[in-house]
Structure 1
Amino acid sequence: MTNDTPHCGSVPRRIGVVEDHAVAVAGLRQILADEPDLMIVAAATTVSELLAITTDLDLAMLDLRLPDGSSPIANVEQLRRAGIETLVFTSGDEPFMVRAAARAGVLGVVRKSERGEVVASAIRDAAMGRLVATMDWAAAIDADEDFAQVNLSPRQRDVLGLYASGEPAARVAKLSGLTEDTVNAYLGRIRQKYAEAGRPARTKTELYKRALEDGWLPIPRRRH
């Protein structure tokens, strides 16, 4: 697992990749081909698939948008429970997902468009447990003050998830075993919490966005 002590001799750091584009994985393999201290030992399209292959990793490289719709926060937490720290590897075109990963405590964020030597250096630092202070990572941290996490109870998260995904309040009540009045009361409290955090959620569309941002809903799948 990740630590601050360099590997002895020629034993390379073990890297896992969570990425659903074979071209991106091939690109990473090419970048690390001339780096004897770094080796990709496993690649998968989801975190669960990677951990089923191996947990003996010094670092996981994580794409933010995956085919199972999982949230960056959930993925980082799942990897950390397995004792593995994370470096985000992203196109960087969805800032809210980068912010979510930064809040989850990743070691850094590196863009797929970076030069190979920059990517290799970032992987090496992260595999040794060091923060990778790129501009994307710093910007995500700085923006966090304007993107305060809203703490919802498990029941509030359930109600928000159902309602924001398109269910009417009456249907949410039936699915959750609550009365419709109780569901509406929950929604009012949820909206109030987001308003107090400076993240308005007045409409159903805004509630949907907030649920995505905080990982209460699965990330929409890519359209190919």
Structure 2
Amino acid sequence: MVPAVPVSVVIVDHHPVVRAGLSTWCAAAEGPIEVVAEGPDVSVALYGPGRAADVVVLELLPRDGRPTCAELHELVAQQRRIVGYTMRGGPEPALARMDLGSTAVITRAAEQWHLVTAIRAAAAGVRYTPPRQASGRRCPPDRPLLSARELEVLVSWFRSESKGVVAKSLGISERTVNTYLDRVRIKYANAGRPASTKAKLMARAVQDGLISLDEL
């Protein structure tokens, strides 16, 4: 049944062509899905018309050398309903972001129908995973659940030469960086999968779909 009440959407993606394509998909949906705002960064969802949108369609995988975990965390803190979208990679890294607050994750393998369905599900507060992604998910059952900030610090460390660089880029102290990394190590140890070195932590993150080799 086509919903009678319109669903408003804000699209966040760094590439204008992708934004235009997603807007076209929404406009062609059988049922009112209105794109009220779109832009290259999450500010478009936090201010202006996008602030009141029912659903945020958010590009998930890192761009410009920075992870989007903090952006996702900020939206989750506001109890926004989010559909994650990625044009890159397989489902594993993107699906991991669902644990951080996305109600759905759509990859490039998904069709238009799945995006529309995901948006409507998010508006109703229901999670949705396209069948192809659900069947391909192979995350270990003992994967520890990391907070948005823990994952942001972890990924930034993987991509940086030192913890000092991480601290400067995230605006925190090096001691705080160490605290977050210690928490991550403790969680892995408690899960029976200790990772005492940076290389071992990186291997765990790749195994669990928290980051892909391409992102490194």
Aligned counterpart for 1:102 among listed residues 98, 117, 121: 98
Say whether residues 1:122 and 2:114 are aligned partners: no
Moved more, 58-67 or 194-203: 194-203
Number of residues of Structure 1 aligned to a counterpart in Structure 2: 200
Deviation at 1:86, TM superposition (A): 0.6
The equivalent of 1:48 in structure 2 is 43
Of 59, 65, 70 in structure 2, the residue corresponding to residue 63 of structure 1 is 59
> Given the superposition, is the C-alpha separation of residues 105 and 50 from structure 1 closer, same or farther in structure 2, using an over 3 Å criterion?
closer
| Distance verdict in 2 for CA 1:209–1:25, change over 3 Å | farther
Give the 3 Å change call, closer, same or farther, for CA 15–195 of structure 1 in structure 2. Answer: same
Deviation at 1:21, TM superposition (A): 1.7
Q: 1:198/1:16 Cα in 2 relative to 1: closer, same or farther (>3 Å)?
A: farther
Mapped contact 1:164–1:204 kept (Cα < 8 A): no
Greater shift in the superposed pair: 90-99 or 13-22: 90-99
Cα pair distance change 1:150/1:43, threshold 3 Å = closer
1:28 aligns with 2:22: yes
Q: Where does residue 82 of structure 2 map in the other structure? A: 86
Tell me what 2:195 maps to: 201
Query: Which residue in 1 is equivalent to 2:170?
Result: none
CA deviations over 1:97-149 (Å, ceiling 9, x no partner):
32431212321122233222332222222223222132366469872623212
Task: Output the amino acid matched with 1:197.
Answer: A
What do you get for the CA RMSD once the two structures are aligned?
4.4
Report whether the alignment pairs 1:38 with 2:56.
Answer: no
TM-score, normalised with respect to structure 2: 0.66
Larger deviation: 80-89 or 110-119?
Answer: 110-119
Unpaired runs of 5+ residues, structure 2, are 168-172
TM superposition shift of 1:214 = 10
- 1:206 and 1:199 map into 2 onto residues whose CA distance is 10
**Any idea what the Cα deviations from partners look like across 1:67-113, whole Å, max 9, x if unmatched?**
361343x3333113333111111236255532431212321122233
Q: Which residue of 2 aligns with 1:15?
A: 9
Structure 1 stretches lacking a partner, 5+ long: 1-5
Task: Give the Å deviation of 1:31.
Answer: 1.1
| Residues 163 and 135 (structure 1), Cα distance of their counterparts in 2 relative to 1, 3 Å cut | closer
Matching residue of 1:131: 127
How much identity, in percent, do the aligned residues show?
A: 25
Q: Tell me, in whole angstroms, the C-alpha distance in 1 between the residues paired with 2:155 and 2:129.
A: 34
Partner Cα separation in structure 1 for residue 190 and residue 203 of structure 2? 16
The answer (yes or no) to whether the contact 2:153–2:181 under 8 Å persists in 1 is: no
Indicate the residue corresponding to 1:112 in structure 2.
108
Contact persistence 1:87–1:109 (CA under 8 A): yes
